[in-house]
Amino acid sequence: MAKYGEGDKRWIVEERPDGANVHNWHWAETDCLPWSKMFFTKSLSDLTILDGQGNLRIKTKKVEKVDGEAYVNIRKGKVIPGYEISLSVSWEGEAKDGEGKTLLKAEGNLEIPYISDENADEDPEVKVTVKDEGPIGKALKEAMLAKGKPLVLEKVRDFVQAMAKGGPVKDELEAKKSAPKTNTTTSNSNSAAVSKEKVGVEKEPKKEVEKEGKKGFKTITMLEKFNCRAKDMYEILMDENRWKGFTQSNARISKEVGGQFSIFDGSVTGINLELQEGKLIAQRWRFGSWPDGIDSTVNLFSMSLSLGLL
């Protein structure tokens, strides 16, 4: 057993520059607290509340703090926001008489102790305080509550809506949705393979798909290397518990020829065509979104791991 703080690198998940979360299958989390601070600082700083009405002038000064946590989870393109934050904004006011002479200048604070995704459909509690508790100071406080509170809650609702759309990753999500789609129903891809200690890579000859009468199908070749034994890779791919651990998605995998499997939370289903332990996995795959009658033959074999989608 490894000591605390140490671990077998084969079992440690790391961010890789060449990694890809294809179609957002995997759970991806983004820290949104820095973005939340920028959002409220921009929307609530130097915000005019009253500009002479009733001889009162009130405006916010700056956002003093945004504490707590905020994040967005993306799974299969679905946005799942989460946040529990508190907010504090300083404000200042001035009261004048009928001749325009200043009667009092006062400062105060506006606090929202709890903004949460659990109460996204409700306005949070807003507290307003003023440093001068005299009659004019209290009048400024009441004006801040009456006129300032609705404006601040409007900005909070804007924040809630922005988080629901992805917060700082909104533009990235919209770009993926608007990206042009290919007309290819399925594709062929070759992935890497595993020798005894290090993986050797061999390309599987491309098949002339159109000669088989399936026009419009294309072949895409991809190569990946895995520094492990072929036997280990076979066990990972055929063990549903390990599959769940690596992909963070539900899976049911039969280890028998002719047996059925379901992976990626049921989005991909199929049957085992041929199995040779540590050497070959031949399966028929089908995505739930594919038209009826369309499936793919996937071959994974030692020395060259090939995904052939036919």
Is the per-residue pLDDT at 67 higher than 90? yes
Same domain for 163 and 237: no
Q: Give the E-state strand segments of 117-170 in sequence order.
A: 127-130
Domain boundary among 149, 173, 197: 173
* The pLDDT of residue 136: 92
Q: Is residue 293 part of a domain?
A: yes
* The pLDDT of residue 229: 80
Q: The domain that contains 123 carries what CATH number? A: 3.15.10.20
Amino acid (1-letter code) at residue 158: D
* The pLDDT of residue 285: 86
Is the per-residue pLDDT at 35 higher than 60? yes
In the predicted model, what is the mean pLDDT of residues 6-11? 52
Is the per-residue pLDDT at 13 higher than 60? no
Same domain for 167 and 60: yes
Helix (H, G, I), strand (E, B) or coil at 196: coil
Same domain for 254 and 133: no
Q: Is residue 165 part of a domain?
A: yes
pLDDT over 70 percentage in the chain: 70
Same domain for 140 and 238: no
Q: Are 232 and 279 in contact (CB under 8 A)?
A: no
Is the per-residue pLDDT at 1 higher than 60? no
Same domain for 169 and 89: yes
Between CA 235 and CA 125 the distance in angstroms is 54
* The pLDDT of residue 30: 87
Same domain for 162 and 52: yes
In the predicted model, what is the mean pLDDT of residues 211-221? 56
Name the more confident of 261 and 28.
261
In the predicted model, what is the mean pLDDT of residues 181-192? 43
Q: The domain that contains 287 carries what CATH number? A: 3.30.530.20
Q: Is residue 61 part of a domain?
A: yes
Q: Are 107 and 89 in contact (CB under 8 A)?
A: no
Structure tokens at 52: 């002479």
Domain boundary among 173, 198, 215: 173
Same domain for 238 and 166: no
Q: How many independent structural domains does the chain possess?
A: 2
Between CA 25 and CA 181 the distance in angstroms is 17
Between CA 62 and CA 95 the distance in angstroms is 20
Mean pLDDT of the chain: 78
* The pLDDT of residue 304: 45
Q: Is residue 47 part of a domain?
A: yes
* The pLDDT of residue 68: 94
Same domain for 169 and 32: yes
Which tens digit of pLDDT belongs to each residue from 138-177?
999 999 999 999 999 999 999 999 999 888 887 666 665 5
Between CA 275 and CA 258 the distance in angstroms is 10
Q: Give 25-88 as a DSSP string.
A: -S-EEEE-HHHHHHHHHHHHTT-EEEESGGGEEEEEEEEEEEEEEEEEEEETTEEEEEEEEEEE
In the predicted model, what is the mean pLDDT of residues 129-141? 92
The phi and psi torsions of 200 (rounded to 5 degrees) equal: -95, 150
Same domain for 154 and 239: no
Q: Is residue 197 part of a domain?
A: no
Q: Which of 48-57, 133-142, 225-234, 265-274 has the lowest mean pLDDT?
A: 225-234
Is the per-residue pLDDT at 192 higher than 50? no
Q: Which of 15-29, 95-109, 222-236 has the lowest mean pLDDT?
A: 15-29
Is the per-residue pLDDT at 52 higher than 60? yes
Domain of 164 in residue numbering reads as: 28-173
Same domain for 157 and 75: yes
Q: Is residue 56 part of a domain?
A: yes
Q: Is residue 260 part of a domain?
A: yes
Helix (H, G, I), strand (E, B) or coil at 267: coil
Amino acid (1-letter code) at residue 88: S
* The pLDDT of residue 309: 44
Amino acid (1-letter code) at residue 130: V
* The pLDDT of residue 64: 96
How sure is the predictor about 219, in pLDDT bands with cuts at 50, 70 and 90?
Answer: low
Same domain for 242 and 128: no
Q: Are 126 and 152 in contact (CB under 8 A)?
A: yes
Domain boundary among 126, 149, 173: 173
The phi and psi torsions of 38 (rounded to 5 degrees) equal: -65, -40
Is the per-residue pLDDT at 120 higher than 80? yes
Same domain for 241 and 109: no
Q: Is residue 85 part of a domain?
A: yes
- Run of H or E including 208: none
